[in-house]
Amino acid sequence: MGASQPVQIYLPSPSQKGIMSLEEAITRRRSVRHFTPESISQSQLSQILWSAQGISNTSSGYRTVPSAGATYPLEIFVVCGTNCVEKIGDGIYHYNIDSHSLTLHYRGDVRLDLARVALNQEFIYEAPVDIIICALYERTTLHYGSRGERYVPIEVGHAGQNIYLQATALGLGTVAIGAFHDVEVREVLRLDKQYKPLYIMPLGKPA
Q: Kindly list the residues in this chain that would bind ligand FMN in the complex (CB under 6 A).
A: 30-31, 33, 121, 175-179
The amino acid sitting at 9 is: I
**3-class DSSP state of 66:** coil
Q: Which is nearer to ligand FMN, 102 or 152 (CB)?
A: 152
Min dist. Cβ of residue 150 to ligand FMN (A):
15
Q: Which is nearer to ligand FMN, 172 or 175 (CB)?
A: 175
Min dist. Cβ of residue 70 to ligand FMN (A):
24
What is the dihedral sign for C-alpha 90, 92, 95, 101?
negative
Give the residue at shortest CB distance from ligand FMN.
178
Taking Cα atoms as reference points, which of 172, 178, 73, 169 lies closest to residue 132?
178
Min dist. Cβ of residue 32 to ligand FMN (A):
8
Is the CB of residue 85 less than 8 Å from the CB of residue 129?
yes
CA distance 115 to 168: 23
CA distance 49 to 63: 11
Q: Which is nearer to ligand FMN, 67 or 121 (CB)?
A: 121
Q: Which is nearer to ligand FMN, 97 or 134 (CB)?
A: 134
